[in-house]
Structure formats: C-alpha cells, structure tokens
Amino acid sequence: MKNRYHEDNLVDYVGEASQVEPKETFKYLSKLIAKDHPDDAPRRLVDIGCACGDFLALIGREHPNVLLTGMDYQNEYIHEVSERVPAATA
C-alpha cells in the first residue's frame, strides 16, 4: 500500500532548491572537512539518511577526492541520489 503522505513529502523535498543554495549546516560541515583534512588524500563519507543527496552533492563539488556513499530507507530518494550525484554510491 502506498503512503500518500510519503509521496507528497517526496515531491516537496525533491522540489526544494537546496542544491542551488545548500543548507547552512551542510556548508559548515564542508568547512570542517576542509579544515580537518586539508590534504588531497582520498577519504570516505557515508551519509545515512541522505534523502535526495543534497549534502553529498555539495561535498562532491567542494571535495572531489572524497568517496561518497548515500544510504536511505526510501528507494525514491536513492534513485534521486543516483541521478543528482552520479559519483556517489547509493
């Protein structure tokens, strides 16, 4: 049985413009990554509850050597991550 609330929520969330202007929390975490890991050595980041991958997209743009993995229990979100952030494993 499909959950109508979930479908409406997915449409609203996917339609947000957060990839255009990332959330302040995401920007702060990106700065922490740059500060704590200034070298270009590959690193791994796993975003549990990644939703549509907005955080992964930001990290992928600002830290291209980070290996990205997104996890979410909603298959629709994982599909969005795969489309928005091709470099991420979802």
Q: How many CA atoms lie within 13 A of 17 on its CB side?
A: 2
Please name the residue that has the structure tokens 């997209």. 57
Would you say the C-alpha torsion 34, 21, 84, 1 has a positive or negative sign? Answer: positive
Residues 70, 80: contact at Cβ < 8 Å?
no
Question: Residue 81 and residue 54: Cα distance in Å, rounded?
Answer: 8
pTM: 0.76
Could you report the per-residue pLDDT of 35-84, keeping only the tens digit for each? 887 776 778 999 999 998 999 999 999 999 899 999 999 988 898 899 99
Question: Residue 65 and residue 84: Cα distance in Å, rounded?
Answer: 18
Position 15, amino acid: G
pLDDT at 29 (0 to 100) = 93
pLDDT at 18 (0 to 100) = 53
